[in-house]
Amino acid sequence: MSGPGPELRADCARCAGLCCVAPAFTASADFAIDKKGGEACPHLGRDFRCDIHDRLRPSGFGGCATFDCFGAGQQVTQVTHPGRNWRTDPEAAPAMFASFAVMRPLHELRWHVREALTLVPQKTPLARELAEADRALRQHASASPGELAALDLDAVRRPVTAALRRELSPRHVPDRVVAVSGIPRTLTGKKLEAPVKRILRGEPPDKVASRDSLADPAALDAFVALAAERSAQEAPLRLG
Ligand code: SF4
């Protein structure tokens, strides 16, 4: 198995800028503005290209620099809704955006399954189950807009996560996936795994990592915010 193919890599030239229109943004460290779902980002050009592509991070759009649709954009534009365009064909817009909301996590799962197939030994039960999941996911990705809208993503994920838990370890199945603008690395490129774990466990960031030694000190901010969010969620339990 050769890994994720071109159909699972973003091809903006064959997309209608769906990731810049369909999702809602909340002003934060990753996005400079609030934007409602279905509203085009003011930086999206008439040609569906980003006007600030070469300066996303300094413009406050680091979230766009790290976002990956895993090829969902071109799949929705070219396969699910061929010949339709939300801008010139507003009636098609809600259905296109709804398809994109399903296709993106579906393509992300396809990407991971294809990647896993390159890592697990061939002809093992896990390899066979992943290959079967890959076939099923490809069929789902080719479904009609109505079929996609009715797709139960949790049910689609279940066989993959069950196989990974059973054949490998529950450690390989994340409880939660969080998008961040960058992975904290030292100036020499080493990932800051242990300090990030300690920050997520609630230790003060300045005590476990020196920002001066990081290639991108701002990359730590998302983990500090996540630790604060986890701490706030756990606080009532501690008080009780
Ligand atoms: S800043 Fe650029 S990449 Fe980000 S949503 Fe707007 S147009 Fe798209």
The per-residue pLDDT for 240 is 33
Q: Ligand 1 pocket check: which of 26, 39, 44 to mutate, most ligand atoms within 8 Å of Cβ?
A: 44
Centre a 10 Å sphere on the Cβ of residue 124 and count the other Cβ atoms it contains: 11
List ligand 1's pocket residues with C-beta within 6 A.
20, 41, 43-44, 50, 52, 61, 64
Q: What single string gives the DSSP state of each residue in 86-136?
A: TTT-GGGHHHHHHHHHHHHHHHHHHHHHHHHHHHSPTTSHHHHHHHHHHHH
Q: Ligand 1 pocket check: which of 18, 36, 39, 61 to mutate, most ligand atoms within 8 Å of Cβ?
A: 61
Q: Where are the domains of the chain?
A: 6-172, 193-239
* Ligand 1, atom nearest to 52 Cα: 2
pLDDT in tens, the chain (240 residues): 677 889 999 999 999 999 999 999 999 888 999 999 999 999 999 999 999 999 999 999 988 988 899 999 999 999 999 989 999 999 999 999 999 999 999 999 999 999 889 888 888 888 999 999 999 999 999 999 999 999 999 999 998 888 888 777 666 666 666 667 677 877 766 777 778 888 888 888 888 888 887 778 878 888 888 888 877 776 554 443
- Going from the Cα of 103 to the center of ligand 1, the distance in angstroms, rounded, reads 19
d(CA 230, CA 38): 30
State pTM to two decimals: 0.73
